[in-house]
Each structure stands twice: as structure tokens, then as C-alpha cells.
Amino acid sequence: MKKNVGGVDRIVRGVAGSALVVWALAGGPVWAWIGVVPLVTAVLAFCPLYAPFGISTCRK
């Protein structure tokens, strides 16, 4: 897997994902567990949806 998620993108995904997971743990709606997806993509610095379109937010 080649990295395709850059710095700012990773931070935004991490914060949004964490917020959703915390909300789910605090008794929020079940759909808030979707926050795991951006959290994992932030940690791995790879987004499988970016790959087929050739999108990369990493610096060249």
C-alpha cells in the first residue's frame, strides 16, 4: 500500500474519527461507529477509495 493520505488530511480524519467513536462509546447512535473507518485510514495513511481515482494528498 502506497501512502495517499497527507498530513492535514490525516489530522482531520483522526479528529473526526475519534470524535465519532467517543460519541458512540458515550451512548450515541450506532452509526457513529463509522468513525472507525477514518480513524484507521488516518493511522495507515492509506485510503482505499483514493487509490482507484489516483488521488493523493501527500506532498510530492
Closest CA to 46 of 9, 20, 18, 15: 9
User: Domain-by-domain residue ranges, the chain?
Assistant: 7-53
Helix H or strand E encompassing 6:
none
pTM: 0.88
Give Cβ neighbours of residue 6 (< 8 Å, ≥ 6 apart): 56, 57, 58, 59
Give the whole-angstrom CA distance, residue 18 versus residue 39. Answer: 7
pLDDT in tens, 3-60: 999 999 999 999 999 999 999 999 999 999 999 999 999 999 999 999 999 999 998 7
Q: Phi/psi at 29 (nearest 5 deg)?
A: -65, 155
For residues 13 and 55, the answer to whether their CB atoms sit within 8 Å is no
Model pLDDT, residue 1: 84
